[in-house]
Structure 1
Amino acid sequence: MRHALVFSLVAALLGGCASHANVDPNGIWINQNAIDAAAKGVSLRQALLANGLILEWHVNTVASQASYSNGFEQGEGKLMADTPGKWTVDFYGSHSEALQLKGDELLQSASDNGPQQSFVKPKTTLDPAAPPGTAFEEALYGAYMGGNWKIVEGPGTGSVVHFAANGQLDGIEGLDRYALCLAGDCAAMSGEYDSMWMEKNQQGNAYIFKRDGNTLEILEAVNQAKADDMPDLHPGARRWLLKK
C-alpha cells in the first residue's frame, strides 16, 4: 500500500512537470496583473505603472523573434534559446531581456529596464492581422470598461452606455468610438491624470476621466500649455457622471 502511494505521488509530480513543459511559448502573452489591478475600479495610470512597463509579448520560436508592446511603441528582438524553457531577447545590441516559462506563465526577469513581470495567454482568440498590443487592449477594455453604465448627470441622463472591448461606444449621443490612454504622447499630455479619446467619424476630443469603483466621471480636458508648446491637459468641467 505504501509503495502504491509513493508511486501515485511520483506520477502526479511527473504529470505536473510534463504539463508545464508542454506549454507552448509561441503566440501572444498579456500582462494580466495590470488588468486585474485596474479592474478593481482604480486609476488606470496607477495600475499600469505599478505592474510593469511591458503590456504584451509576441513570441515566435520558429522565426527566432520576440516583440513587445508598452501601449504606445513596439520593440522587436532576436530570440535566442538558453536552457530549456528559457530565452534571451536581444534588441540588436541596445539591450536584452530574459524570458522563461514557469507553469502557465511567461516571466520577464528583472533588469535595468524594470522589475520582473509575468504574462499569460489571452482568453480570447485574436485576429492574426491585429496590430501589436491589441490583445492586451481588448482584455483591459473588457475588464475595466465593460458592463452597463448609466448616465446620472450630463447630456443623455438616464441612458445606458456600453464601452465595448473593441473600442466601440454606444449610448452617448454623437460618439461611437473611444480609446483609453495607456502610454506615450497622450500620457505625457495628461500627466498624472487618466485620459481617453472619444469620437465619431474620426472627429472627437480628449477627455480626462476619474474612476472610483462603480463611478466614472468624465471631464472636459483643458489645455494649459502655450500655443507653441505640447498640450498640457488638466481636468475641466464635468461632462458626464456614469454609474455601473
Structure 2
Amino acid sequence: MRVAFALSLLAALLSGCASHSNRTPDGTWINQTAIDAAAEGGNLRQALLAYGPNLEWNVNTKAGSATASNGFELSEGKIVSAADGKLHIDFYGNSFEDLTLKSNELVQAASDSGPEQHFKTPKEAAPADAQPGTSFERALYGAYLGGKWSIVQGEGQGSIVEFRPDGSVSGLPGNDRYALCLAGDCAAMSGEYDSMWLEKNEKGNPWIFVRNGKQLEIFQAVNNAKADEMPDLRPGASQWLLQKN
C-alpha cells in the first residue's frame, strides 16, 4: 500500500513538472520590473523609461500574432517561428523581436529597439473587452497611487482621496477620473515632468505632478508654447498636496 501511494505521489509530481514545462507563452504579460521601480515613489516616467520601452505583451500563438504596448502605441507583429517556448516576431519587416519563456517570466531579448526586458503574468486579469495595455495600466495605477491619501493643502483639505486601478478617483474636488501619462504626445508636451489628466463628466485638463515618497503634489499645467507650437507644459501654482496614509 505504501509503495502504491509513493508511486502515485511520484506520478503526480512528474505530471506537475511536465505540465509546467509544457506551458505556452500565450496570454498577457506585463512589465512588473517597471511597476516595482515606479512603486518606490519617485518620477514615474523615469522608472518606465529605465525598464521599457515595452510595458505589455499579448501573445496568441494559435492566431500567430503578438502585440506590444509602450503605454501609447500598439505594435502588432506576426509570429514567424515558435518552438520550445521561443518566439520570433516580425513587425511587418520594420523590426523583429525574440521572446522566450523562462520559468514564470517572458523574456524579450535585447535588440536594436531596446535592452532585455522581463514580463510576468498580471495578478488580476483585465476585463475581456479591455484594450491592450489595460492590464499593465491597472497594475501600475494600483502600485503607484493605490491606497488612501489625505489632502494636506488645497481645496478639500482634510478629505481622503482614493485613486483606483480602473482610473476612477474619489475625494479630489471637481474630479471623478484620472489617467497617468506613460508615453507619447502627453510626455512630449510635459518634458521632464510627470503629468496626469483629471476630469469630471468627461471634461478635464492636464496637470503636472511630483511624487516624492508618500507625498504627491499636483500643479496647474502652464503652457509656455506659442499658439502655433506644440504645447510646452510646466508646473504652475500648486493645487493640491496629498500625503499617503
- The answer to whether the superposition gives a TM-score over 0.5 is yes
CA contact (8 A) 2:24 2:85 kept: no
- Give, in whole Å, the separation in 2 of the partners of 1:224 and 1:31: 34
Aligned to 1:61: 61
Structure 1 gap ranges (5+): 1-10
Aligned to 1:92: 92
CA contact (8 A) 2:108 2:118 kept: yes
- Give, in whole Å, the separation in 2 of the partners of 1:22 and 1:104: 12
**C-alpha displacement of 1:16:** 8.6
- Give, in whole Å, the separation in 2 of the partners of 1:134 and 1:125: 9
- Using the TM superposition, name which of 200-209 and 180-189 deviates more: 200-209
**C-alpha displacement of 1:46:** 0.7
- Give, in whole Å, the separation in 1 of the partners of 2:33 and 2:118: 8
Query: Aligned to 2:187, what secondary structure does the other structure show?
Result: helix
CA contact (8 A) 1:150 1:242 kept: yes
Amino acid across the alignment from 1:51: Y
- Give, in whole Å, the separation in 2 of the partners of 1:215 and 1:19: 46
**C-alpha displacement of 1:66:** 0.3
Aligned to 1:179: 179
Q: Does 1:137 align with 2:137?
A: yes
Deviations 1:177-234 (A, max 9, x none): 0000000000000000000000001111111000011000101111000011000001
CA contact (8 A) 1:23 1:104 kept: no
Query: Aligned to 1:46, what secondary structure does the other structure show?
Result: helix
CA contact (8 A) 1:55 1:136 kept: yes
**C-alpha displacement of 1:125:** 2.1
CA contact (8 A) 2:52 2:70 kept: no
Amino acid across the alignment from 2:100: Q
**C-alpha displacement of 1:20:** 4.3
Amino acid across the alignment from 2:77: G
Q: Does 1:198 align with 2:194?
A: no
CA contact (8 A) 2:174 2:200 kept: yes
Amino acid across the alignment from 2:61: T
- Give, in whole Å, the separation in 2 of the partners of 1:70 and 1:182: 8
Q: Does 1:34 align with 2:34?
A: yes
Query: Aligned to 2:135, what secondary structure does the other structure show?
Result: helix
Q: Does 1:44 align with 2:47?
A: no
Amino acid across the alignment from 1:142: G
- Give, in whole Å, the separation in 2 of the partners of 1:189 and 1:112: 26
Identity %: 63
Alignment RMSD? 1.7
CA contact (8 A) 1:20 1:102 kept: no
CA contact (8 A) 1:41 1:214 kept: yes
Query: Aligned to 2:234, what secondary structure does the other structure show?
Result: strand
Aligned length: 234
Query: Aligned to 1:243, what secondary structure does the other structure show?
Result: strand
Structure 2 gap ranges (5+): 1-10
- Give, in whole Å, the separation in 2 of the partners of 1:65 and 1:21: 22
Aligned to 1:104: 104
Query: Aligned to 2:83, what secondary structure does the other structure show?
Result: coil
